[in-house]
Copies of this chain bind each other. A is one copy, B any other.
């Protein structure tokens, strides 16, 4: 499989707090977002925190979608990462944005797996030969 992928990182503010705290709804939104974008869902795992908040991931054949919700702040941090060029991660992100009633959004798209290009200018490292062992 080609390593190239697109990773959308989105900050969703002004979301509906009740939706953000409803794990089954959040899970449904995330799975449907994957399907909406045409992705193939492989694994779905969600966790409800006490007193509030939901974390979850949808592993797709093309990579993953994740969410962490903070109902008390009306905030959700969302990642949609899709390998290949068949799936547009923005489609899934837009769906999530709509379904959580987000009214202020910031997002960036990062290109992944393009080779050791130095595109991540912040830190580019040639490492010594590792002696790691499990």
Which residues of A does B touch, CB under 8 Å? Answer: 1, 3, 5, 7, 9, 11, 13-14, 25, 28-29, 42-43, 45-47, 49, 53, 55-57, 59, 61, 63-64, 66, 68, 70, 72-73, 75, 77, 79, 81, 83, 97-110, 112-113, 115-120, 122-130, 132, 134
Contacts and interface: CB of A to CB of B under 8 A. Distances in A.
A49 B20 CA distance: 32
A86 to B, nearest CB: 16
Given A1-B53, A29-B134, A66-B66, A123 B108 contact: yes
Nearest to A19: B134
Given A110-B9, A120-B106, A126-B104, A66 B64 contact: yes
A55 B83 CA distance: 12
Contact of A106 (B3, B70, B75, B124): B124
A100 B132 contact: yes
A4 B55 CA distance: 15
A127 B113 contact: no
